[in-house]
Amino acid sequence: MLEELVRRAQNGEEEALLQLFQRYETRIYRIAYVCTGNEHDALDVVQEAAYRAFKNIRSLTDPSYFKRWLLKIVLTTTLDLLRKKQVTIEFEDFQIEETYEEQLMLEISLRDVMDQLNEAEKMVVFLKYYEKVSLQDIAQLLNISLGSAKTTLYRALTKVRKWKDEIND
């Protein structure tokens, strides 16, 4: 079914691409919403990602990778939109020995994630804890080094911990 839809989309059938896209569009909206922080931009990401997906569907050689391929498009589209708005996306470059405080992520709300973290941190946290993507894959999807992915996650968790500590004090 998936293979058939990809082949049809590659032959130029808009309807086939839309059927494929529809399977993931709410997830796409969620990641865009978390990273951009508002509905308007998140919908722009959805539209642009659909455009890029249909435009480039012929580059997908193995239909079974459609989800990962689409996720990469969504992340690139989101980063492009943020950069266009002159938001600095800062993935730090050097690796830090980490002791992740993942338990912390259990205690915070969506609003905390959106208010306390910057765009790069939100993106890595979303991929790691919501999409369950490994750090190596996050690095590949975002085209950054593994050290940068780790450092960004570490920084996000440190920020959340400090903020929780302040509240508890």
Partner 1 sequence: MTKWQRELDQLDIPKNVHERAIAGVKQVRKKRRAVWMQIVAVIVVLCVVIVAIKFLNEQSVESPAKQVTTEGNGMIHVPAMQIPDDASTVDMIGLVVYNGHIYTQSDVTYTGPLRALQGEKLGTTKNLMDEWSSASAYEKQFASNIGKKSIYRVKGYDIDFRLMFYSELEGKKRAEIFERLNDLTIATGADVFKHFRLKDNIVSATWQNHVEWNETSKTVHLVKDVAAMERFASALYSATPHSRNDNEPLAMEHNNSTFKALTIKLKDGTAMTFKLLKGGYVYYGFTDVYFEIDKKTFNDIWNLLQ
Least distance (Å) from partner 1 to the CB of residue 110? 4
In the bound state with partner 1, the residue whose beta carbon lies nearer, of 4 and 15, is: 15
Tell me which residues touch partner 1 (CB under 8 A): 14, 17-18, 21-22, 25-26, 29-30, 33-34, 39, 43-44, 46-56, 59, 61-62, 64-65, 68, 80, 83, 86, 88-91, 93-97, 105-113, 129-130, 134-137, 140, 143-146, 148, 150
Q: 151: which 2 tokens?
A: 């450092």
Number of other CB atoms surrounding residue 8 within 10 Å: 17
In the bound state with partner 1, the residue whose beta carbon lies nearer, of 150 and 155, is: 150
In the bound state with partner 1, the residue whose beta carbon lies nearer, of 61 and 165, is: 61
Least distance (Å) from partner 1 to the CB of residue 16? 10
In the bound state with partner 1, the residue whose beta carbon lies nearer, of 4 and 107, is: 107
Least distance (Å) from partner 1 to the CB of residue 83? 5
Computed over its alpha carbons, how large is the radius of gyration of the chain? 17
Least distance (Å) from partner 1 to the CB of residue 152? 12
Least distance (Å) from partner 1 to the CB of residue 158? 14
In the bound state with partner 1, the residue whose beta carbon lies nearer, of 3 and 14, is: 14
**3-class secondary structure per residue, the chain:** CHHHHHHHHHCCCHHHHHHHHHHHHHHHHHHHHHHHCCHHHHHHHHHHHHHHHHHHHHHCCCHHHHHHHHHHHHHHHHHHHHHHCCCCCCCCCCCCCCCCCCCHHHHCCHHHHHHHCCHHHHHHHHHHHHCCCCHHHHHHHHCCCHHHHHHHHHHHHHHHHHHHHHHHC
